[in-house]
Structure 1
Amino acid sequence: MPVWLDRSTFLTGLVVAVVGFFSSFPILLQGINQMGASPSQAASALMAAALAMGLAGIGLSLWQRMPISVAWSTPGAALLAVTAPDAAGFAGAVAAFLVAGLLTMIAGLWKPLTRATTMVPAPVAHAMLAGILLSICARPVLAAVEIPQYALPIIATWFIVSRFNRLFATPAAVLVMGAVIIWANGGTWPLPDYVLTAPEFVAPVFSWGGVMGIALPLFVVTMATQNVPGIAVLRAERYDPSPGPSIAAVGGFSVLSAPFGAPATCLAAITAAMCASPDAHPDPEQRYLAAVWAGLFYCLFGIFAGVITAFTAVAPAMVLPTLAGVALFGVFVGSASAAMADPSGREAAALTFVITASGVSFLGLGGAVWGLIAGSLVWMLRSRG
C-alpha cells in the first residue's frame, strides 16, 4: 500500500479536519457577520478561509515534510465578534484583513517585527484574549434564560461530551444545533439555491481606523496566540520547522483569501499536536501526511460552505452565539488562568482584561487595543521598578 494511503494518517487527518472546522466555524461566522458581511459574503468568507488553511497546510507539510497544521484564527474571529464594524462596512473589514496578512508576511520575513510581536508580555496577551472572550462566553448564559428550549440542549451536549472527550464536545454540540434548527423550522432542512459555494470578491476600502482598530489587534492576537504557539508545539514534538518562512506563508495565504472575506490564516497548535502524535503514524517522518489529509478535507468542507451558512442563517436568534460561547469556554479558561498565573504580572493582566472586556472605544480604537497598550505600560513600569 502506498504510504499516502496509510489508514492512520488518513483517519487522523479526517478527525483533525472535523475538529478544526466544526469546532470553530460558528466563531468565524460570528466575527464575519459582526463586520457587516451579507449572507453571500459570509459564505464566500467561510469558503475562502477553509481553502486557505487547507492549501497552506498541504503546501507547508509537503515542503518541510513535517505535520504543519494550519487554521483560521479563531481568537482573531472572536476579536471581530466583539469589535465595532468599520465605517465602510465589510469592505473596510476586508481592507483590515489584507493589512493584517501583510503584517504577518513581514513578521515572517523581517525578524525585528517578529521580535517586536513576541515582546508583548505573555500575561498581557492572554488577558487581552480573555477580555475579548468574556462577552462571547456569557452569551450561552443569556440564551439559556431567553431561549431555553434551544440553548439548553446545546449547552448540555457540550458539557456532557466534554467530560469524556473535549475535542469532540463542540462537533457534538454542532450536531445538536443542527437538530435544533430543523426543529425550529418545522422539520425542514433549508438549503441554498446552489450547493457549491461561489466566491465573492469584495473591493477593500482602506482607512486609518480600520488599520488601528481591526488590522493591528487582529495581527497581534493571531501572532501571539496562534503562530508563535504553533511553532512551539512542533518543536516540543521534536520537529524543527522554519518559523520565518512558515509564518510568511500563512500571511501570504491571508492576503490571497482576504478579498473574498477570510480574516486570517495562521499556524495551528492543538491540531498540529494531533498530527504530530504517534497516533498519526508510528514513523515521525510520515506524520506530515496526516496534515496533508487534513488540508484536503478542509478544502472539501470549504467548497460546501454555502450550505453551512444558509443552514445557520435561519437559526433562531442567539443559537449561533450560544454555540460560539460554549466552543470558546475552554479557551477562555486557559487564557484567564495563564494571564493570572504570574503574581508579578497580575496587575497588568487584570488591567488589560478589564479594559478589553469593557468594550470601550476611543479615538477609533477598540477596547482590545487600549487594553494591550495600558497593560504593556503597566508591565514595563513594574518591571523597571
Structure 2
Amino acid sequence: MASSNPRGSHSAISRISADFSVSALVVGLIATLVSYAGPLLIVFQAAKAAHVSDELLSSWIWAISIGSGLTAIGLSLRYRTPVITAWSTPGAVLLVGSLSLYPFPDAIGAYLFSAAAITLMGVSGLFSTIMKHVPAAITTAMLAGILLSFGVQVFVSLQQLPALALPMILCYLLAKRWSPRYAVVFSLLVGVLAALAMGRFALGTIQVALVSPVFTYPAFSLDAIIGLGIPLCIVTMASQNAPGISVLQADGYDTPASPLVATTGIASLLLAPFGAHGINLAAITAAICTGREAHPDPARRYIAGIACGASYLVFGMFGATIASVFSAFPKELIAVIAGLALFASLGSSLASAMGDPAARESALITFLVTISGITVAGIGSAFWGLVAGVITNALLTGNVQKWMSSKRHSSS
C-alpha cells in the first residue's frame, strides 16, 4: 500500500511533464493577472468602504488566493480539464455597498452561511431546481443593479482626474478592438504609468511582506444572513458558477458540475473565517484558458489551470504586499479600472435582463429597487430587489394563482 502512492505521484508528474506547454503556462499566468488587475481591486474597494483594517484585508486576499489556487490545481488535475476558479466578483461588488452595514464577525457568519448553502446545492443538485422558479431576467437585473454604480464611477472619475481616466478609457476601447482579452490589463498598465508621471502614485507606502492570516470568530445574525448571505449565495451561483460551467461546456468539456461547485463551496467554508467571501468557478478568466490559445489539443489545456492555480498561491503569500500596492493607487485609478473590468458583465446583465419581454417589467423593478440602495430592517437593497422582482413576476404571470391552486389540489 505504501509503495502505490509514489508510483501514482510519479505517474501524475510524468503525465504533467508530457502534457506541459509554454503556451498553457503563459495563458494561465495571464488569467491570474486579469483576476488581480480587475476583480481584486473590487475586493480592495469593498474593504475600504467598510473600513476593514490592513491586516484583515491582507488575510482576505490570502484566503481567496489560496482557495482559488488549491481548487484550480486540484480540480484541473482530477478531471484533466482547465478548471479555473476564482473569488466571487459579483459577491465583492455586493460587499462594496453592504459590508459596512454589518460588524465584520457577522459578515463572516454570512459568508459561512453562503458557503454552506452553495456546498449543499452543489452536492444535491438543488441549485438547478431553485433557479427554475426564478426567471433569469430577475437575477441578471439584480446583478446589473449591483454593477451599475461601478460603471458610473468611471465617468465620475473622468471629471475628477481626466489626465488619468481618459488615457485608461481610450486604451481600454482600443484594446477591446484589437486584443479584447487583455484590455483590462493594458488599461491598468496605462493607469499606473499615468499615475507615476503625475506623481499620484504613493510609492513610499509599498512594503514587501508575507501575509499573516487572521482568524475571525464568526457571529451569526439574521440581518446579515438575509441581507448579505442569501444575496451572496445567489449572485455567486447565478453569475459565477452557472456561467463557469457554460464556459467549460462551450469548449467541449463535459465535466460534472456538482463536484466542481461542491469543492469550491467547501473551500469557501474552510477559508471564510480568514476573510474569504466566496470561492467559485471563474467565467471570464476561464475562457482565456479553455480555448485554443492555451493549446491546440483540448486534452492538454488543463496545464493552464494548474499554472493559474500555482500563480494564485504565489500571489496569495504576498497578500500584505498586494494590499500596500493597492493603497498606493489613486482612488480614481481604482474606480476606473474596477468599472472597466465590469463593463462586459454590466452590458450582458442589462441585455439579458431586458431581453425577455415576458419578464421585462419584473426585471425593471428588480433593477430599480437594487440601485435605490434602500435598507429595510438592516437588509440591503439587493435582497429586496430580488424579492420585488419575484413578487412582480408572480403577480403579472399568475404564478401565485397557479401555486395556490396546486396547493388546494394537493391537499384534497
TM-score normalised to the size of structure 2?
A: 0.87
2:81 to 66, 75, 80: 66
TM superposition shift of 1:95? 1.8
Residue 361 (structure 2) aligns with: 347
For the Cα contact (< 8 Å) 2:167–2:190, is it kept in 1? yes
> 2 CA distance for matches of 1:109 and 1:81?
30
Alignment of 1:311-326 (within 5 A): 311-326=325-340
Residue 277 (structure 2) aligns with: 263
For the Cα contact (< 8 Å) 2:202–2:329, is it kept in 1? no
Residue 49 (structure 1) aligns with: 64
Alignment of 1:1-385 (within 5 A): 2-83=17-98, 85-88=100-103, 90-183=104-197, 185=199, 189-384=203-398
What is the aligned residue count? Answer: 384
TM superposition shift of 1:6? 1.6
TM superposition shift of 1:146? 2.1
TM superposition shift of 1:192? 4.5
Change (3 A) 1:375 1:186: closer
> 1 CA distance for matches of 2:232 and 2:270?
16
- Residues 90-120 of structure 1: CA deviation (Å, up to 9, x unaligned): 2222221121111111111123354214532
TM superposition shift of 1:183? 4.5
Matched to 1:74, the amino acid is: T
Change (3 A) 1:4 1:306: farther
> 1 CA distance for matches of 2:220 and 2:194?
40
> 2 CA distance for matches of 1:346 and 1:265?
31
- Residues 37-92 of structure 1: CA deviation (Å, up to 9, x unaligned): 1112112211211111111111111111211111111111111112252432x222
> 2 CA distance for matches of 1:63 and 1:124?
35
> 2 CA distance for matches of 1:118 and 1:243?
17
> 1 CA distance for matches of 2:285 and 2:122?
21
> 1 CA distance for matches of 2:48 and 2:388?
29
> 2 CA distance for matches of 1:192 and 1:200?
21
> 2 CA distance for matches of 1:319 and 1:21?
14
> 1 CA distance for matches of 2:396 and 2:140?
18
> 2 CA distance for matches of 1:17 and 1:40?
23
TM superposition shift of 1:224? 0.4
Change (3 A) 1:319 1:282: closer
Matched to 2:65, the amino acid is: A
Q: Secondary structure at the match of 1:190?
A: helix
> 2 CA distance for matches of 1:128 and 1:284?
35
For the Cα contact (< 8 Å) 1:118–1:224, is it kept in 2? no
Change (3 A) 1:358 1:129: same
> 2 CA distance for matches of 1:245 and 1:170?
31
- Residues 173-213 of structure 1: CA deviation (Å, up to 9, x unaligned): 22233334445657762354442222222222221111011
Extract unaligned runs of 5+ from structure 2: 1-13, 400-412
Range moving further from structure 2, 188-197 or 367-376? 188-197
TM superposition shift of 1:276? 2.0
> 2 CA distance for matches of 1:191 and 1:60?
37
> 1 CA distance for matches of 2:202 and 2:250?
48
Q: Secondary structure at the match of 2:280?
A: strand
> 2 CA distance for matches of 1:197 and 1:290?
26
- Residues 323-350 of structure 1: CA deviation (Å, up to 9, x unaligned): 2112212211111011111111111111
TM-score normalised to the size of structure 1?
A: 0.93
TM superposition shift of 1:263? 1.0
> 2 CA distance for matches of 1:321 and 1:124?
27
TM superposition shift of 1:269? 1.8
Matched to 1:68, the amino acid is: V
Question: Larger C-alpha radius of gyration, 1 or 2?
Answer: 2
For the Cα contact (< 8 Å) 1:123–1:349, is it kept in 2? yes
Change (3 A) 1:249 1:124: same
> 1 CA distance for matches of 2:53 and 2:191?
22
> 2 CA distance for matches of 1:248 and 1:127?
26
Change (3 A) 1:335 1:309: same
TM superposition shift of 1:171? 1.1
Name whichever structure is richer in helix by fraction. 2
Range moving further from structure 2, 347-356 or 39-48? 39-48
Extract unaligned runs of 5+ from structure 1: none
> 2 CA distance for matches of 1:227 and 1:208?
25
Matched to 1:320, the amino acid is: I
Change (3 A) 1:200 1:275: same
TM superposition shift of 1:278? 2.4
Matched to 2:346, the amino acid is: F
